[in-house]
């Protein structure tokens, strides 16, 4: 053996680790830029952020609450992560978003590692760059929501599935079939599926559906799947992990967590357009079927400009590995194409697979490196400039501005209410300084609420004051602001009326 070989191997390992660390740190810095100054955007971000704070306050890590009410929208993993972030950084907009930053960085590292195994260093780096610098990742890596962790775990599951089939699918350095596939990939596959469910529910199990599609497309190459995946054992293991949280949650809520979390937020979203996201008619649903196939040219920008070229290339010539990546992405697009409720980010878990497909195809093209490098530099620079300009947006957040105006007069024991403006950002920003929860009032109840003993305040549209309070007591303090409500896309003028005693 060449005496230099061990040294070269050690050097290669050192360089590989250094590359992973540099990529991770670079992605964290890129995605974290501006998150400390951008207000949480109604409605999803403050809902997640506040539920995580209440979880930390209560010390209850089984059942999430929002504004002192059950929150069954999502499983608990994102709340665990955000509450941990609060312990480290304190309760802030940055701390609420930091878990998404970390998940996006880890996903890029996974793509570098996976890409290196299927196509070499270039494919790994290009896939990581393409995923990191695309519009939808740019948005959701900075958002205080659960989606980026779903992307991470689904990507890990797809990678684990590939490795269990590696000798059948090919790729750079493909190994010959062995009687006993490496068990570490089995653990990665099923652990990732379990954590994907704990992030956003059953949609995290789509890698299993992708395997079914692959079994149909390549029946001979993928015979004997059960010998590799040990489905019964794996599914029992996965479900047992979910049950550690799920059974106590179901018992404590008398089954409501399942009825609402699955019945409403999974089944109902599939058959009915919820919260105005999608069409409620059959005709509208049919017209919306191409929605994600058209929207991907925006959400996967700038790399989406190469998708027509990629589609033509794969139509003419593709290998089993291409089929595996296509199946994983296609299942995600197909599911959300059929689901009636539609939001632009639903297909984000397919983007790592699209990045790998495109990186593999481009790696074989002359002059592709120049395109990838220039595009990444230009769009990455623009992204950083946009991210660092977010302090300009703080002045347009009505909830944040009202909190800042009234900050000196807020007292920990205060109660507060919202009239015709009940966005969760009010709860998030004001509960940093008061211990109560936001009451839900209408015109008939707002007067009695403010007349109760003790300090309290109400937030309402400025135009509603004459009807709600024909004569505002002179001892009450008043703060007004104008801002933009992204939840309904309208400008609002709000007033906070505060009774100090």
User: What pLDDT digit, counting tens, does each position of 390-447 carry?
Assistant: 878 889 999 999 999 999 999 999 999 999 999 999 999 999 999 899 999 999 999 9
Largest separation between any pair of C-alpha atoms in the chain: 93
- The pLDDT score that the predictor gives to residue 278 is 52
- 484 beta partners: 491
Query: Considering Cα of 227, then 232, then 238, then 240, what sign does the dihedral take?
Result: negative
Cα→Cα distances 99→77, 112, 146, 501, Å: 11, 20, 9, 40
Q: Give the long-range contacts of residues 218-224, CB within 8 A, separation 24 or more.
A: 218/168, 218/320, 218/323, 221/168, 221/169, 221/320, 222/165, 222/168
Whether residue 118 contacts residue 167, with contact meaning beta carbons closer than 8 Å, is answered with no
Helix (H, G, I), strand (E, B) or coil at 97: helix
- The pLDDT score that the predictor gives to residue 288 is 62
- The pLDDT score that the predictor gives to residue 282 is 64
pTM for this predicted structure: 0.92
- The pLDDT score that the predictor gives to residue 322 is 94
* Residue of 386, 384, 394 lying closest to 38 (CA atoms): 394
Q: How far is CA 205 from the centre of its chain?
A: 16
Q: What is the DSSP letter of 412?
A: T
Pairwise CA distance, residues 52 & 50, whole Å: 5
- The pLDDT score that the predictor gives to residue 173 is 45
Helix (H, G, I), strand (E, B) or coil at 481: strand
- The pLDDT score that the predictor gives to residue 16 is 75
- The pLDDT score that the predictor gives to residue 172 is 54
Whether residue 248 contacts residue 62, with contact meaning beta carbons closer than 8 Å, is answered with yes
Whether residue 114 contacts residue 12, with contact meaning beta carbons closer than 8 Å, is answered with no
Pairing relationship of beta strands 490-499 and 438-440 according to DSSP bridges: unpaired
Whether residue 40 contacts residue 93, with contact meaning beta carbons closer than 8 Å, is answered with yes
Give pLDDT < 50 ranges for the chain.
Answer: 1-5, 173-177, 179, 181, 268, 270-272, 274
Contacts of 112 (CB under 8 A, 6+ apart): 19, 20, 23, 124, 125, 127, 128
- The pLDDT score that the predictor gives to residue 1 is 45
* Residue of 426, 445, 432 lying closest to 487 (CA atoms): 426
């Amino acid at each position: 053996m060449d005496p230099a070989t061990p040294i070269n191997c050690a050097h290669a390992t050192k360089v590989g680790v250094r590359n992973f660390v540099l990529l991770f740190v670079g992605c964290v810095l890129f995605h974290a830029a501006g998150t400390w100054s951008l207000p949480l955007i109604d409605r999803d971000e403050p809902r997640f952020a506040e539920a995580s704070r209440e979880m930390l306050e209560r010390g209850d890590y089984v059942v999430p609450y929002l504004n002192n009410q059950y929150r069954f929208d999502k499983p608990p993993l994102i709340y665990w992560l955000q509450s941990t972030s609060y312990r480290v950084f304190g309760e802030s907009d940055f701390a609420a978003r930091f878990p998404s930053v970390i998940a996006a960085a880890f996903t890029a590292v996974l793509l570098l590692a996976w890409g290196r195994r299927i196509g070499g260093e270039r494919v790994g780096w290009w896939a990581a760059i393409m995923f990191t610098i695309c519009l939808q990742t740019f948005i959701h890596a900075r958002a205080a929501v659960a989606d980026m962790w779903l992307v991470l775990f689904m990507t890990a599951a797809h990678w684990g599935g590939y490795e269990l089939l590696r000798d059948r699918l090919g790729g750079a350095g493909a190994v010959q079939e062995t009687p006993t596939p490496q068990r570490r990939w089995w653990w990665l596959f099923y652990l990732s599926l379990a954590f994907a469910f704990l992030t956003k529910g059953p949609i995290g199990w789509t890698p299993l559906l992708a395997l079914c599609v692959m079994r149909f497309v390549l029946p001979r190459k993928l015979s004997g799947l059960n010998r590799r995946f040990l489905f019964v054992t794996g599914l029992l293991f996965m479900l047992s992990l979910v049950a550690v949280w799920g059974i106590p949650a179901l018992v404590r809520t008398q089954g409501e967590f399942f009825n609402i979390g699955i019945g409403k937020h999974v089944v109902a979203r599939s058959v009915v357009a919820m919260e105005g996201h999608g069409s409620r008619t059959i005709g509208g649903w049919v017209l919306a079927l191409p929605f994600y196939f058209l929207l991907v040219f925006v959400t996967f920008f700038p790399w989406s400009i190469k998708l027509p070229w990629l589609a033509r290339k794969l139509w003419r010539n593709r290998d089993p590995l291409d089929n595996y990546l296509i199946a994983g992405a296609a299942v995600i697009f197909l599911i959300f194409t059929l689901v009636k409720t539609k939001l632009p980010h639903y297909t984000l878990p397919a983007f790592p697979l699209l990045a790998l497909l495109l990186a593999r195809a481009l790696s074989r093209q002359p002059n592709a490196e120049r395109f990838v490098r220039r595009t990444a530099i230009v769009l990455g620079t623009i992204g950083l400039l946009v991210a660092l300009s977010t302090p300009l947006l703080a002045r347009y957040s009505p909830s944040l501005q009202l909190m800042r105006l009234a900050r000196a007069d807020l007292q920990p024991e205060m109660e507060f209410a919202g009239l015709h403006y009940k966005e969760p950002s009010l709860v998030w920003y004001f509960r940093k300084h008061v211990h109560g929860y936001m009451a839900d009032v209408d015109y008939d109840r707002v007067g009695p609420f403010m007349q109760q003993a003790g300090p309290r305040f109400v937030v309402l549209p400025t135009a509603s004051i004459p009807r709600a309070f024909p004569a505002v007591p002179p001892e009450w303090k008043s703060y007004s602001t104008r801002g933009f409500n992204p939840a309904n896309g309208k400008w609002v003028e709000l007033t906070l009326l505060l009774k100090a005693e």
